[in-house]
Amino acid sequence: MVTLRTMSVAFALTLAACAEPSPETSATVFTNATFVTFDGPNTDAILVENGRITALGRDDVNAALDDNATIVDLRGATVLPGFVDSHVHVRELGMDAIKVDLVGARDLSEIIARIRAQRPNPAPGEWIIGQGWDEGRYADSASFEGLASPGGYPDTAPLSAAFPNNPVALESLHGFAAMGNARAFEIAGITVDTPDPQGGTILRRANGEPSGVLLTLAQALLMDATPPITQDQRETAIRAGLARMAEAGVTSVHEAGMTRDDVSAFRALAERGELPIRVAGLLNGNDAQLMEDWFETGPLDDPDDWLDIRGIKVFFDGSLGSRTAMLSAPYADLPDTARPTARISLNSIDRLAVQARDNGFQMAVHAIGDEANDCILASYELRLSESPYDHRWRIEHAQVVRPDFAERAAALDIIASMQPSHAVGDSAWAEARLGDERIQRAYAWRSLDAAGVPVIFNSDLPGEPWEPMQTLHFALTRTDLDGAPEGGWYANEALTREQSLRAMTLAGAHAAFQDDALGSLSVGKWADFVVLSDNPMEAEDVRGIEVRATYVAGERVGGE
């Protein structure tokens, strides 16, 4: 039997190139690293067979090793369980080849410049689709480039002048607004006479003409007129998005709000073995027919955990940045411009909760404002009290909550699915929206965790910086990537390193009913792990930590 202790120096040097596991070998040993297990003490080696961890620690690995094993020397790295990004929109992440990237654009002039740079020669009549302008930034402005701006949003006349022959439709960063030029509005049939749809607003100039910006459910008036992407494009975007995440150390994602076409694309990729990392799907609960179909067939549970679908993502209220989140008292700033919005009725959510409970599905409802969170929590309390079970129901964001929220959520083990990037990204204006009292109960990770509420951390990509080391930095410091504000924004709500990393690994796996197979380095679990240049449990600044390799089921899928 070959042992780690008796390997020759020459053989060890041969392994230093970080050999890849061979499909012809029966086992692979990963060694010469610090393995942070999140299931007991750290260890110094792991044995992987058939994609699963079968031994931990040098002694147990030696005892199980055979002559056909491949040895992978990780050269002093730190190994963590693979990161679980538990709320993503991965198709959108991979859409760069189709949509103009507007993330970070500061004003309409930069938006126009980005479009010209990324779509330099559009054919006459060709649609230009973009995504990522920050509706929160614009909603906080009183005027824009000298033009009247209802609610602080831009008038898109310059966009119309820049692209007179091409319809332009631009989705916002968080999905609560859209803007278009005159040609796009003409094709969509949006005119001075078009009424505001229920749950949506067409922003208008003083003469009643549309200004070019649509809020919440009014976006559909424009976006429904855009050409749909093909299924091939959808699959390509999903593959590209997942591959980018694998490079960053993510081994599993929870795709939030799968449409019918998304489900088809993910299933096709899974059947062809083309998913580079694992996917837990949350269906678009706002699509009533989609949910009726799934309630008839039941959840999808893949024994190999590549594609599981058992969650329901429901969009309830809007966003704090666009002043469309549902608050129990008026917005502290510009209350007259606020348009709190329910995208789906509470009765509909309650019916979904009953059907989810009775058919083995998990509820996960988007709730930002304290009124929205209270409504969803009350619905959960009612339905779960009727028939308690291992539900693992979630509230996505839980951004602003009432004083009794933590106690009530903890009593039912309701999972708070939260985004460290949102607190940092919203810090410039969130207190103005809420006032100095409500802000104390906003983005309150530590308070919820201390009260016993299960907290999971995720990115909600692609709207904000999403790589795991960036998320961890936000979680630990409550500062942006430049370290501002000094000392952190309400730093008392930051979590510790271990709390944050567990919220990004084992807790995320638990939230998808996968903690028996993922989330820690444990015997019997899948060998999903990330190889890092430094130990995030000890590094002074986690922003500099590099991903050397990412493994799923013992196979390398990303990294340097």
Residues 528, 560 within the same domain: yes
Residues 320, 381 within the same domain: yes
pLDDT at position 145, please? Answer: 40
Contact 555, 528 (CB under 8 A): no
Total residue length of the chain: 560
3-state secondary structure 96-110: HHCCEECCCCCCHHH
Residues 414, 445 within the same domain: yes
pLDDT at position 32, please? Answer: 96
Rounded CA separation 287/315 (Å)? 10
pLDDT at position 85, please? Answer: 98
Residue whose token pair is 């799923």? 552
Q: Which of 503, 518, 533 is the last residue of a domain?
A: 518
Q: Which two tokens stand for residue 264?
A: 């088809």
Residue whose token pair is 């078009």? 194
Residues 329, 475 within the same domain: yes
Residues 276, 165 within the same domain: no
Residue 89 lies in a domain: no
> Nearest CA to 305 among 87, 501, 52?
52
Residue 74 lies in a domain: yes
Residue 508 lies in a domain: yes
CATH number at residue 512: 3.20.20.140
> Nearest CA to 156 among 182, 132, 174?
182
Q: Which of 223, 239, 258 is the last residue of a domain?
A: 223
pLDDT at position 65, please? Answer: 82
Structural domain that includes position 134: 99-223
Residue 132 lies in a domain: yes
Contact 201, 218 (CB under 8 A): yes
Rounded CA separation 548/544 (Å)? 12
Residue 93 lies in a domain: no
CATH number at residue 120: 3.10.310.70
β-bridge pairing 250-258 and 210-216: unpaired
Residues 327, 444 within the same domain: yes
Residues 407, 477 within the same domain: yes
Residue 88 lies in a domain: no
Residue 78 lies in a domain: yes
Contact 289, 316 (CB under 8 A): no
Residues 313, 417 within the same domain: yes
CATH number at residue 71: 2.30.40.10
pLDDT at position 97, please? Answer: 67
**CA 528 from centre of chain:** 19
* Number of domains within the chain: 3
CB atoms within 10 A of CB 386: 9
* Residue type (1 letter), 454: P
Residues 385, 286 within the same domain: yes
Report the alpha-carbon angle 114-104-144, nearest 5. Answer: 80
Contact 325, 352 (CB under 8 A): no
Print pLDDT tens along the chain (560 aa).
333 433 322 223 233 334 455 555 579 999 999 999 999 999 999 999 999 999 999 999 988 887 788 999 999 999 999 999 999 999 989 987 678 999 889 889 999 999 999 999 999 999 999 998 988 777 654 433 433 344 578 899 999 999 999 999 999 988 889 999 999 999 999 999 999 998 899 999 999 999 999 998 899 999 999 998 899 999 999 999 999 999 999 999 999 999 999 999 999 999 999 999 999 999 999 999 999 999 999 999 999 999 999 999 999 999 998 899 999 999 999 898 888 989 999 999 999 999 999 999 999 999 999 999 999 999 999 999 988 889 999 999 999 999 999 999 999 999 999 999 999 999 999 999 999 999 999 999 999 999 999 999 999 998 889 999 999 999 999 999 999 999 999 999 999 999 999 999 999 999 999 999 999 999 999 999 999 999 999 999 999 999 999 999 999 999 76
175: left (phi over 0), alpha (psi -120 to 50) or beta: left
Residues 425, 435 within the same domain: yes
Q: Which two tokens stand for residue 86?
A: 């538990």
Q: Which of 223, 240, 266 is the last residue of a domain?
A: 223
Q: Please state, in angstroms and as integers, the Cα–Cα distance from residue 336 to each residue in 152, 341, 370, following that order.
A: 12, 14, 19
Question: What is the maximal distance between C-alpha atoms in the chain?
Answer: 85
* Residue type (1 letter), 202: I
Residue 91 lies in a domain: no
* Residue type (1 letter), 327: L
Residues 215, 236 within the same domain: no
3-state secondary structure 359-375: HCCEEEEEECCHHHHHH
pLDDT at position 153, please? Answer: 86
